[in-house]
Amino acid sequence: MKTAFRLLAAIGAILLLTGCGGKKTPAYRQVNPEEAAAMMESETDYILLDVRTQQEYEQGHIPGAICVPNEAIGSGEISELPDKEQLILVYCRSGNRSKQAAEKLANAGYTNVVEFGGILSWTRETVSGSGQS
């Protein structure tokens, strides 16, 4: 009986230490749109990443943003994002896809990913058109 108890205790300790069943914390930071705007004003070497569809991007995006749809992230190397240590500020329409994309980028080895929600909460300038600035 003592052996079975010890075995169960050891298994429980292993599961506890490995985090089995626990929610994994994302390897990216989340900020609000105002904090992201402040980062854009203070930083010089960053990529502003819009993860909506090209059509959504053309209807209106934050100046300087590039479009790499969320669905395209995670299926190999991303030529638009060659430096995995560069600051990448990620947004979408409402914040759902940007969280998904930020997590996929972090899992792909990007180390400086900041997710700031959706353009619906963006109170600053937007532009339309297909030209990626």
Per-residue pLDDT of the chain (133 residues; tens, 9 = 90+): 565 545 445 555 454 444 444 555 568 999 999 999 999 999 999 999 999 999 999 999 999 999 999 999 987 899 999 999 999 999 999 999 999 999 999 999 999 999 999 999 999 999 998 865 4
Catalytic residue among 92, 101, 105, 114: 92
Tokens read off for 87: 């600051």
Say how far apart CA 65 and CA 48 lie, in whole Å. Answer: 5
For 64, phi and psi rounded to 5 degrees? 90, -5
- pLDDT value at residue 14: 53
pTM of the prediction?
A: 0.79
Instruction: Work out the number of other CB atoms within 10 angstroms of the CB of residue 14.
Output: 10
92 classed as catalytic: yes
